[in-house]
Structure 1
Amino acid sequence: MAEQKRVLVIGSNGRIGQKVTNKLSEKGYQVLAGSRHTDNLDRDNITYVYVDLLDSVDKLVKNMQAVDVVLFVAGSGGKDLMKIDLDGAVKTMEAAETAHVKRFIMLSTIYSLDREKVASSSIRNYMTAKFYADNWLMKNTQLDYTILQPGALTKESSTGKVTLNDGQASDNSLGNVADVLVSIVANDNTIGKVITMHDGETDIESAVKNS
């Protein structure tokens, strides 16, 4: 049941993080909203907790007690790629394993695992950070992972409809990405999968269940 799951959202203050946190709460999940900004008031199944990805693994572990799912949607916005987008992600994985959390969902980006596309990308440094973080999750942990790879993010209104796993780099509304992440939390058939996405024609619940 959704109400029994406790989800730690790393990067809850970001554009997608805020949406995911609110949507999880609306569905009855107990949400720990993790970021360096904890001046928000706790509300509607949401507890704000201080999480700094520059901290040690031991400190990160403290906020993972009794957590069922870690959802990593953090990013430095290109300002500190190695310490946040790469090492911060890896430390979060290590903390999850130390805290005996099995489920780990990573928000990544399209083509993050394609070394040739990473090398030729106009945002190569960001793509490189995601390449190594995603590979670490897949190859160096025992976590029940899902990696979501959307294309470019837009501020367009969410449609509730997407296309998954066609490998195309097309636009994604922030709301659609958040809704897919929430659906992944609920659907264990996504464990061990890398899922590409963009705005499309299939309702999100059906698309994720058949991914």
Structure 2
Amino acid sequence: MEKILVIGATGTTGNKVINELQNHQNYEPIAMVRKPEQQSQFEQQGVKTILGDLTEDVTHVTEGIDKVIFAAGSKGKALDAVDRKGAMKIVDASKRHKVQKFVMLSSIGADQPQQSDQLQEYLQAKNDADEYLGNSGLDFTIVRPGTLSDDTPTGKITISKSLENKKGSIPRGDVAKVLVHSLKDAVANREVFEILNGEQHIEEAVMTVPSVN
């Protein structure tokens, strides 16, 4: 089984990623948490944890890890320390320990942060982290969803390297499914794609990424 480190495991989307991984026979999730008291919630589910704080040294967290899903976010409270530099630290640690693939949860609009009125700083932090990963030499997939919702997952999405209509939402549960499917070596390797709620089954959709416009 491949050991999958989930950064941001205590967040709403990250928690759904953990659940997806637990239901997958090929993956063993490992949740990175900041505080010792957060470990018990995962360990009660049979999920291993590792202590790590994105604002501190996290070199150790990727040791023995096969692949990484980065789903952390500071909700605007620490964009530089967490969303930008924190992501970069995990990329560096992944390189050091020869992680096989890095799946990054980004955001629609991260490629053009200057076009956003309210989210410019957030999208710029995501852009910087995405570029750093893209230039790292690691195998990666960068997933850019629209607005995350708590709606019931449909298992279906719209996907493209650049969606014409970027306004829309997508359930967090579907984003979690896409992130886990993107762990596969053959799925969107060294690719960036955008997703919204749609009509194509996730399993089929992510396999088409190299050919979508």
Q: Which amino acid in structure 2 is aligned with residue 8 of structure 1? A: L
Contact 1:69–1:102 (Cα < 8 Å) also in 2: yes
Structure 1 residue 156, shift from structure 2 partner:
0.9
Deviation >4 Å, runs of 4+: none
Number of residue equivalences: 202
Q: Distance in 2 between matches of 1:74 and 1:80?
A: 11
Contact 1:138–1:145 (Cα < 8 Å) also in 2: yes
Gaps of 5+ in 1: none
Secondary structure of 2:5's counterpart equals strand
Q: Distance in 2 between matches of 1:113 and 1:55?
A: 27
Name the TM-score, length of structure 2 as normaliser: 0.90
User: Which residue of 2 is the match for residue 153 of structure 1?
Assistant: 148
Structure 1 residue 43, shift from structure 2 partner:
5.1
Identity of aligned residues (%): 33
Name the TM-score, length of structure 1 as normaliser: 0.91
User: Which residue of 1 is the match for residue 137 of structure 2?
Assistant: 142
Equivalent positions of 1:126-205 (< 5 A) are 126-139=122-135, 141-165=136-160, 167=163, 168-169=165-166, 170-205=168-203
Contact 1:146–1:192 (Cα < 8 Å) also in 2: yes
RMSD: 1.5
Structure 1 residue 45, shift from structure 2 partner:
5.5
Structure 1 residue 187, shift from structure 2 partner:
4.9
After superposition, the Cα gap between the structure-2 partners of 1:199 and 1:142, relative to the gap in structure 1 and judged at 3 Å, is same
Q: Which amino acid in structure 1 is aligned with residue 40 of structure 2? A: D
Structure 1 residue 186, shift from structure 2 partner:
2.7
Instruction: For residues 136-159 of structure 1, give each alpha carbon's deviation from its aligned partner in whole angstroms, at most 9, with x where no partner exists.
Output: 1112x0110110000111111110
Q: Distance in 2 between matches of 1:114 and 1:125?
A: 11
Contact 2:63–2:97 (Cα < 8 Å) also in 1: yes
- Is 1:26 the counterpart of 2:27 in the alignment? no
Instruction: For residues 116-145 of structure 1, give each alpha carbon's deviation from its aligned partner in whole angstroms, at most 9, with x where no partner exists.
Output: 42xx33111111111111111112x01101
Secondary structure of 1:100's counterpart equals coil
Contact 1:40–1:48 (Cα < 8 Å) also in 2: no
User: Which residue of 1 is the match for residue 7 of structure 2?
Assistant: 10
Contact 2:31–2:42 (Cα < 8 Å) also in 1: no
Instruction: For residues 86-119 of structure 1, give each alpha carbon's deviation from its aligned partner in whole angstroms, at most 9, with x where no partner exists.
Output: 00000110011011113111000002012542xx
Gaps of 5+ in 2: none
Contact 1:152–1:171 (Cα < 8 Å) also in 2: yes
